[in-house]
Amino acid sequence: MTDSELFELMDRFERSSLQTLKLSRPGFSLELGRGAAGTAAIPAAPAAASAPAKEEAADRTVDAPLVGTFYAAPAPDQPPFVTPGARVSKGQTLCLIEAMKMMNEVLAPCDCVIDAVLKTDGELVAFGDPLLRYTPC
């Protein structure tokens, strides 16, 4: 979510009659709330979120963006796109997911080192399933 989209969402929430708003996406979560008479409804959220943020930093995964079949290599007779220990650049292809006879590339979210490949070639994956574990560079 871009900054402008976030500010637009916050502005619309402020102008609405909603009391709370929760939004979750892979790697992103937002919770807005109204307090009583000018007090913030969720002032402790950043402090409470610091512990889970450390856990996320230690266990970052690339998750399946859709339901389909996981393929680690471009073809059965070719080597996998990545192996544990491989250093990859942002936007580099990590694996493929086949859905409805279409091959969809899953790209690296940042420059990183692949710690583990969590799925096997040909395995069915669901939306949000962790595919690879990585450490940012």
| pLDDT digits 0-9 by tens, 21-69 | 787 777 777 777 776 444 344 444 444 444 455 445 557 999 999 999 9
The CATH 2.40.50.100 portion of the chain extends over 61-136
Residue in this structure with the two tokens 């544990």, named with its chain if needed: 84
Name the nearest CA neighbour of 120 among 88, 80, 66, 86.
80
Lowest-pLDDT choice from 42-51, 89-98, 102-111, 119-128: 42-51
CA-based nearest residue to 62, from 19, 106, 25, 21? 106
Q: How far apart (Å, rounded) are the C-alpha atoms in residues 133 and 63?
A: 9
Contacts of 104 (CB under 8 A, 6+ apart): 65, 66, 68, 96, 97, 98
| Tally of CA atoms within 13 A in the half-sphere of 77 that contains its CB | 0
Residue 70, pLDDT above cutoff 80 = yes
Whether 100 shows a pLDDT value over 50: the answer reads: yes
pLDDT at 73: 95
Tell whether the torsion through CA atoms of 25, 29, 31 and 32 is positive or negative. Answer: negative
Confidence band of 133 (pLDDT split at 50, 70, 90): very high
**Region 86-112: what's the mean pLDDT?**
94
What is the CATH class of 61-136? mainly beta
